[in-house]
Amino acid sequence: LPPPGTSSASCSSSMDELKVSARSASEIEAGAAAWNASLRPGGKLLLTLSDESLVAEAKLPLLMHDFVLRESTATMVCATKPGWEAGAKAPLKVTDDLVDEDDLLAADGLVPPEVPDDVGCSARKPCAGCTCGRAEGLAADAVDPSGCGNCHKGDAFRCGSCPYLGKPAFKPGEETLVLELTDDL
């Protein structure tokens, strides 16, 4: 039996190739799923259309039913069913080809900066001969960087660019908060 949307006179089927014809877009939409089911993976569909205007209308239903469009003429569309079944699995090829960033810089004629092993900057303050920019960053933070003047008041009064967001309120001029935890007993 021919798939829906085709005339019996124009349907000859084998698992490798299916030749069908259609006279309307509704026939193409109705037949696309059946045509896909009739073909084996890698099978070829030759769709002959009654009108040149149907070529553009035939492509979307075929794509929606997993066909790969190959070529089309004025009244014919050639498509293939993918070479795998639905739900097929294939292992991924994992490679350990890591790229060294220094090699990329060297390829562009740039030299990566030399960083001494004993940089000397602690987490709290910059070292005496600071070259990493921490000293300039701390100097900029000393002035109210957000410009709103409400940094000391607490999150309810701070602007969106305030560096103290999420920190408790403090007295103006004091950047650190010292908690005096005493026992009430």
| Residue 47 backbone dihedrals phi, psi, to 5 degrees | -105, 115
CA pair distance 177, 185, nearest whole angstrom = 24
Residue type, position 153, single letter: K
CA pair distance 60, 63, nearest whole angstrom = 5
Mean pLDDT calculated for residue range 31-60: 90
pLDDT given at position 1? 40
Residue 142 makes CB contacts below 8 A (sequence gap 6+) with 175
- Mean pLDDT of the residues in the chain: 78
Most confident of 5-9, 50-54, 93-97, 180-184: 50-54
Residue 61's H or E segment, with its range, is helix 54-64
Query: How confident is the model over 125-159, as pLDDT tens digits?
Result: 777 777 777 777 766 555 555 667 788 888 888 88
CA pair distance 43, 34, nearest whole angstrom = 13
pLDDT given at position 139? 66
pLDDT given at position 22? 92
Residue type, position 80, single letter: T
pLDDT given at position 106? 82
- Residue 85, exposed/middle/buried by CB under 10 A (0-12, 13-18, 19+)? exposed
Give every strand in the sheet of 76-80, ordered side by side.
12-13, 17-22, 44-49, 76-80, 68-72
Query: Is the confidence at residue 6, as pLDDT, over 60?
Result: no
CA pair distance 45, 61, nearest whole angstrom = 13
Most confident of 63-72, 113-122, 139-148: 63-72
